[in-house]
Structure formats: structure tokens, C-alpha cells
């Protein structure tokens, strides 16, 4: 029986939109849909969108197939008119409307000369840095029948010309079944298969898990096998590295590296960097409603509370280390992080420190809110 003066209002909680990870956008050569993102949830959809590639010698089709074979469930494909820096730049700009991608793959870049490949790969890395929420999976140069020692020197030369926190380089190439010529396998760059490994690892472990020591599916062999000593030459200590794919006796063909192209020790590992990129994506998705709110104590308390709740969820997942939450993270948003001069500029700054599982130390982030949105540095 209703009580006089008291009414019952039903409150329906709105679920937070799901934050997807392991979702790549592939760029490659095709005749159809130039600079128009096509969404794929099944491998069979590719041939419906891009029938011109059914018997193509390019690598886009093989890369997307490898993605789905290795556990990928959702990707986007953007077709480029040609293999030039201008076409790539136009494609990258077209991809900016896609909000739920966090990986970038460019298999057909590898068709150019060595200088062109490095130039366009650096363009992709710069795009990922500027967007602040994407990670590039890049392909090492093919060995092209040169001897192994020279190929290793060539790969190291490629590595030394690329620099970014938001990208990783993989080699050697993979041999897969060639459906148009069954007499011999086809060599392809590995980025599509690696993107599938990222997606599968994200789903089973989480974005904080290292996408390595996982067997590749749909691969017959490697274009070239590496020994542990040769792999060490591609991964100098305390420098950016090349993630090698190895054929291991009794264990199949596996990803055997998790280095980024960053020279900074704190961003040396793929899983650590992607954890922080995902943190930035979460902040942009869930805190944008605080933009234009009064920059005062109430806003600081709210930001500190919501950031702390998310950080604790990361700790509970095992994404950050510590026996108790206080050892795993800290969040600070108060008068000290928001002095008058910052407030006059229309900025709100929250300082967050996370202790990722590798390495065992705090890495500090600054979340800066302004009229243009939230940026994480």
C-alpha cells in the first residue's frame, strides 16, 4: 500500500558501452570501395566486398583471412587506389571516423621498395601516435632469396629507421597454401595472422596479456627459420626489437617476441603499451560527459572516484600488480594537479599511476580535459 507523500520511481541503469579491443583496420590495394571502411565479422564477407581480389597477387586478402583463422572476430578494411604515400594518407584519414578500432595493419605497403616501405610504415606509426588510441602491427622486409646474414642486416636497418611507442615489427614472412597455384606455397607478410593472435589473446587473457608464445593457424611454414642466436641479433638489449616468428620442434609455429619500436624502457613491451592505450580509450569513452562541467572540487572528486573504480577493476583482472590496490595504482585530482593557471585555460588534470605486470614500476599518466575532449599523455 502506498505511503502518503512518498512515491516510488524506477531507475533503469544504462550499461556502459562495450570497449572493444583487438579490432584492426586493414589497408590494402583493391578496385572497389576506395577509402570507404567496410566492416567484416566473417571471413566470407571479404570476397563479397572485394571480388577483384579473388585471384590477386597482393596480400590484403591473405592478411584478412589470417586474421579470422587466428581468432579475430571483427575488423575493418579500407581499400587504397594505389600503393603511394598519398593514397595511404587518404586512407588513414578516412579511418579516423572508426571509433572502435585499436590496431592498424598495412600488408600491401610491403610491395614497394625498401625506402618506400619504411617511409609509409613511419607514416602509419605517426598516425597511431597522433590518434593516441591505435597500435600498428608492421611487417618486416621479406628475405627475397638473399642470404640470411644480409637479411638480418636489412631487417635491423629497417628497425633502426622506425620509431614509435605505438607499433611493433614482425618477421619473417609466412608460407600459406596458395589457392590459385597448389604446386607451391605463397609467402605473405605476417601482420594479419598476428592481429588475430592479438584479438584471441585479448579475449582469453585481456589486453594486458602478452600476445606471444601462441601457435599460428593456417601457416604451412616460414619463409626463413631463425636460431636463438640470430633472434638475439634482431633484439639488441635495451633497444627497440623485431618480434620473431619461430618454428619450434613439437610446438608448431609461434610468435616469439613482444617488443615495441620504442626506445623508452617503460614502453618496451607490446602488452604494457596496449594496456595504457586502452586506458586512454576508456577515459575518452566514459569521461567525456564531464567536459564543460564547472572545474571545482566536485568535479575533481568525481573524476578521482571514477578513475579509481576503473583502476581497481584492472587490478582485479591482474592487469596491474600489487598485493593491495594501493600498491597497484594511484589517482590524484585536486588543487595541486589543477592550479589556477590551468583552470583559467579550461583544463582539468588528473594524475594516474599504474604498476603494469611488466615492468614492476609505476608508469605515470596525465589525463587532461579541455573543450576539445580528453587527452592522455
The pLDDT assigned to 13 comes to: 39
CB 101 within 8 A of CB 95: yes
CB 319 within 8 A of CB 300: no
Q: Apex CA 69: angle with CA 200 and CA 119, to 5°? A: 80
CA dist 302 and 289 (Å) reads 12
Number of independent structural domains in the chain: 2
10 has pLDDT over 70? no
The SS3 assignment for 325 reads helix
CA dist 103 and 126 (Å) reads 13
Residues 76 and 200 in one domain: yes
Global pTM value: 0.89
Percent of the chain predicted with pLDDT > 90:
68
Residues 246 and 350 in one domain: no
Q: What sections of the chain are H helices per DSSP?
A: 45-49, 60-69, 85-95, 114-131, 148-161, 191-204, 228-233, 270-286, 297-317, 325-328, 340-344
143 backbone dihedrals φ, ψ, rounded to 5°:
-75, -20
Tell me the per-residue pLDDT of 168-185, one tens digit each, with 9 for 90 and over.
999 999 999 987 776 789
373 has pLDDT over 90? no
Residue predicted with more confidence, 279 or 8: 279
Residues 130 and 214 in one domain: yes
359 prior amide bond cis, ω within 30: yes
Residue 55 lies in a domain: yes
The SS3 assignment for 111 reads helix
Summary mean pLDDT of the chain: 88
Residue predicted with more confidence, 13 or 221: 221
Q: Would you tell me the crossing angle of helices 114-131 and 85-95 to the nearest 10 degrees?
A: 20
Residues 84 and 165 in one domain: yes
The pLDDT assigned to 54 comes to: 85
Residues 101 and 204 in one domain: yes
Residues 212 and 319 in one domain: no
Residues 191 and 330 in one domain: no
Residue predicted with more confidence, 367 or 357: 357
The pLDDT assigned to 372 comes to: 58
Residue 269 lies in a domain: no
- C-alpha separations of 377 from 208, 233, 238, 367 in Å: 19, 32, 23, 7
Residue predicted with more confidence, 373 or 139: 139
Residue 19 lies in a domain: no
Q: Which domain holds residue 224?
A: 24-264
Those residues whose C-beta lies under 8 Å from the C-beta of residue 105, and which sit 6 or more positions away, are 24, 25, 26, 27, 63, 67, 136, 137, 191, 192, 195
Residue 7 lies in a domain: no
Tell me the per-residue pLDDT of 249-295, one tens digit each, with 9 for 90 and over.
889 999 999 999 999 988 999 999 999 999 999 998 898 887 778 88
Residues 66 and 212 in one domain: yes
Residues 181 and 312 in one domain: no
Residues 35 and 91 in one domain: yes
Smallest CA-to-CA distance from 180 within 61, 42, 98 is with: 61
Those residues whose C-beta lies under 8 Å from the C-beta of residue 211, and which sit 6 or more positions away, are 194, 197, 198, 201, 202, 255, 258, 270, 271
pLDDT band at 376 (very low <50, low <70, confident <90, very high): low
Tell me the per-residue pLDDT of 303-324, one tens digit each, with 9 for 90 and over.
999 999 999 999 999 999 999 9
CB 136 within 8 A of CB 128: yes
52 backbone dihedrals φ, ψ, rounded to 5°:
-70, -15
Q: What is the 3-state secondary structure (H, E, C) of 271-317?
A: HHHHHHHHHHHHHHHHCHHHCCCCCCHHHHHHHHHHHHHHHHHHHHH
The pLDDT assigned to 214 comes to: 94
Residue 3 lies in a domain: no
Residues 237 and 337 in one domain: no
CB 52 within 8 A of CB 31: yes
Residues 87 and 230 in one domain: yes
Q: What is the CATH number of the domain that holds 346?
A: 3.30.360.90
Q: What is the CATH number of the domain that holds 217?
A: 3.40.50.11780
The pLDDT assigned to 361 comes to: 38
Residue 16 lies in a domain: no
CA dist 231 and 227 (Å) reads 6
Amino acid at each position: 500500500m502506498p505511503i502518503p507523500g512518498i512515491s516510488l520511481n524506477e531507475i533503469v541503469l544504462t550499461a556502459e558501452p562495450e570497449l572493444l579491443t583487438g579490432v584492426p583496420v586493414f589497408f590494402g590495394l583493391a578496385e572497389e570501395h576506395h577509402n570507404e571502411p567496410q566492416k567484416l565479422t566473417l571471413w566470407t564477407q571479404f570476397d563479397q566486398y572485394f571480388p577483384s581480389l579473388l585471384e590477386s597477387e597482393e596480400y590484403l586478402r591473405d592478411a584478412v583471412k589470417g586474421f579470422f583463422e587466428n581468432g579475430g572476430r571483427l575488423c575493418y578494411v579500407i581499400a587504397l587506389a594505389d600503393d603511394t604515400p598519398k593514397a595511404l594518407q587518404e586512407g588513414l584519414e578516412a579511418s579516423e571516423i572508426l571509433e572502435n578500432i585499436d590496431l592498424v595493419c598495412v600488408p600491401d605497403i610491403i610491395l614497394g621498395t625498401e625506402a618506400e616501405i619504411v617511409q609509409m610504415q613511419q607514416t602509419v606509426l605517426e598516425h597511431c601516435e597522433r590518434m593516441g588510441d591505435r597500435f600498428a602491427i608492421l611487417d618486416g622486409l621479406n628475405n627475397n632469396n638473399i642470404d640470411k646474414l644480409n637479411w638480418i642486416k636489412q631487417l635491423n636497418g629497417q628497425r633502426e629507421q622506425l620509431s614509435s611507442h605505438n607499433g611493433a615489427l614482425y618477421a619473417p614472412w609466412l608460407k600459406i597454401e596458395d589457392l590459385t597455384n597448389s604446386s607451391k606455397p605463397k609467402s605473405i607478410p605476417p601482420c594479419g595472422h598476428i592481429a588475430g593472435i592479438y584479438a584471441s589473446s585479448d579475449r582469453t587473457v585481456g589486453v594486458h596479456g602478452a600476445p606471444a608464445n601462441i601457435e599460428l593457424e593456417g601457416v604451412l611454414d616460414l619463409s626463413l627459420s631463425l636460431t636463438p642466436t640470430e633472434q638475439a641479433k634482431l633484439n639488441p638489449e635495451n633497444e627497440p626489437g623485431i618480434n620473431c616468428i619461430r618454428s619450434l620442434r613439437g610446438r608448431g609455429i609461434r610468435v616469439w617476441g613482444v617488443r615495441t619500436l620504442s626506445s623508452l624502457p617503460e614502453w618496451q613491451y607490446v602488452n604494457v603499451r596496449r594496456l595504457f592505450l586502452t586506458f586512454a580509450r576508456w577515459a575518452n569513452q566514459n569521461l567525456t560527459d564531464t567536459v564543460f562541467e564547472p572545474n571545482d572540487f566536485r568535479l575533481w572528486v568525481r573524476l578521482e572516484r571514477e578513475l579509481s573504480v576503473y583502476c581497481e577493476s584492472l587490478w582485479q583482472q591482474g592487469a596491474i600488480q600489487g598485493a593491495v590496490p594501493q600498491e597497484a595504482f594511484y589517482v590524484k585530482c585536486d588543487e595541486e594537479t589543477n592550479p589556477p593557471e590551468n583552470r583559467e585555460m579550461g583544463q582539468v588534470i588528473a594524475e594516474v599511476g599504474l604498476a603494469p605486470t611488466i615492468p614492476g614500476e609505476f608508469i605515470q599518466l596525465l589525463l587532461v580535459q579541455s573543450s576539445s575532449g580528453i587527452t592522455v599523455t
